[in-house]
Amino acid sequence: MNYIEKKLSELYAYRPDGTPPADLDRFWELTLQEAAAKPLNGQREAAETLSPYIQAYRVTYNGFDTTPIHGWLLLPLFAMADHVKLPCIVSFHGYTGSKGIPEQHAPWLMNGYAVFAVDVRGQGGETGNHLAQQYGMSRGWMTQGILDPYQSYYRAITVDALQALAWVSQQPEIDTEQLIVSGQSQGGGLALMVGALSEKPVKIIADIPNMCHMDYGIFHSTGSLKEAAEFVAAHPDKLEQVLQTLSYFDMLHLYERIQAPVLMSVGLKDTVCVPETIFSVYNRITGPKQLTVFPFNGHYTSRGHLYTQIDFIRGNAAEQGKSS
C-alpha cells in the first residue's frame, strides 16, 4: 500500500462523533417557519449579455431579512423550443466572491441548463447586508453574530440560499423536478445545507465544501474559519460560545437530513477545507453519494470535473465512493 492509498484508507474510515446542540431540531424548525412566513418580494428585469444565446434577468429577492439579494437568472435560448421547462443549477459562490457575470456560467448554459446564480450577502457582489450586529467582529464576515446562533451570519446566508431555491421554483421556465444546488467551498457548504433543510427535490453538488466538522476546521483551516480562530484569539473567554454557535451550521450534525443524491469533491492537499472535514460528513451520508478525490489538489477542482458533474446530474443515482 503506497502513501496515498494509506491516506485515503484512513480518511474513508474517519468518523468523528458530532456534538450537536440539544435544541438543534427546534432551532431549524423555528428558522424554517420564519423564512416561510416572509414574502420573497422577488423581481426580475431583462438584461443584455454578450451572447445572443443567453436570456438574462437581473433578479432581487428578500432572504433572511430586508436585504435585497441580487442574482442572475440565465436561460439558454436554444433549449427553450416549444416552451419546454428547463432543469436549473442554483449556484452559490465561494467566500469573498459573487454571482459573477452571465457569460462565466456558459458551461452550464451550453449543456441546456438554466442557472440561478446569487450573491452571498455583504461579500464581493452587489448585495449589501442588513443583518444586525450586536458585538465586534474579526476581519471578514463570518464572525458577525458568532456568539448567538439566532443572530449568526451563517443563519442569514443559509436562509438566503433556501429562499433562492424557493424563488427560482416559482419561475415559469423552470422544471421544479430537476433542481440542482451547487457550489464550491462556502458555496459547497450552502449547497449541502439547502439539500439538508429544503423539502424540494434536488440534487446536490458540493465541491470542496466548507461548513463540515467545523470544530476541526477552526483549529486547522487557513480559510474563512481562520476568522473565527482570530476572534477567539482576541476573546479567549468566548471559545465555548463560538463553538456552540458553529455547531448549529455544521453538516456533521445535519448529514442525516440529506436524502438527495450528492456529489462531493475533496483535494487531499487542501488547507482551506481540509480533507478530514469533508470525509467526516461524506462517510456518514447514507443516501446516494459520490466523491471525487483530487490527490494533489489544494483548494480547487480540476478542469475535467465538469464532465463528472454533468454525468452525476444525468444519472439516475450517484455511485458510492467513486474517485478520480
Q: In what order do the strands lie in the sheet with 54-62?
A: 43-47, 54-62, 68-76, 114-118, 86-92, 174-184, 202-207, 262-267, 289-294
Write down the pLDDT at residue 46: 98
pLDDT tens digits, 272-320: 999 999 999 999 999 999 999 999 999 999 989 999 999 999 994 444 4
91 is catalytic: no
For cell 456558459, name the residue: 106
The string of DSSP letters for 5-54 reads: HHHHHHHHT--PPP---TTHHHHHHHHHHHHHHS----EEEEE--S-TTE
Write down the pLDDT at residue 81: 77
Marked catalytic residue, from 198, 270, 280, 305: 270
Marked catalytic residue, from 91, 138, 185, 224: 185
Average pLDDT estimate for 148-170: 98
In a domain, 137, yes or no: yes
pLDDT tens digits, 275-285: 999 999 999 99
Write down the pLDDT at residue 172: 96
- Asked if residues 257 and 29 have their Cβ atoms less than 8 Å apart, the reply is no
What pTM does this model have?
0.96
In a domain, 322, yes or no: no
Rounded CA separation 183/206 (Å)? 6
In a domain, 320, yes or no: no
Q: Give Cα 113 to chain centroid, integer Å.
A: 19
pLDDT tens digits, 263-272: 999 999 999 9
3-state secondary structure (DSSP) of residue 264 = strand
pLDDT tens digits, 196-229: 999 999 999 999 999 999 999 999 999 999 999 9
Contacts of 66 (CB under 8 A, 6+ apart): 130
In a domain, 321, yes or no: no
Average pLDDT estimate for 26-55: 97
The length of the chain is: 324
93 is catalytic: no
Q: What's the number of domains the chain is made of?
A: 1
Rounded CA separation 87/80 (Å)? 11
Whether residue 321 has pLDDT greater than 60: no
In a domain, 324, yes or no: no
Whether residue 145 has pLDDT greater than 70: yes
Write down the pLDDT at residue 82: 72
pLDDT tens digits, 238-250: 999 999 999 999 9
In a domain, 10, yes or no: yes
Average pLDDT estimate for 246-258: 98
Q: Is 25 exposed, middle or buried (0-12, 13-18, 19+ CB in 10 A)?
A: exposed
Q: Provide the domain limits for residue 23.
A: 3-314
323 is catalytic: no
Q: pLDDT exceeding 90 applies to what percent of the chain? A: 94
In a domain, 319, yes or no: no
Q: What is the CATH number of the domain that holds 237?
A: 3.40.50.1820
In a domain, 112, yes or no: yes
Q: Per the annotation, does 154 bind a ligand?
A: no
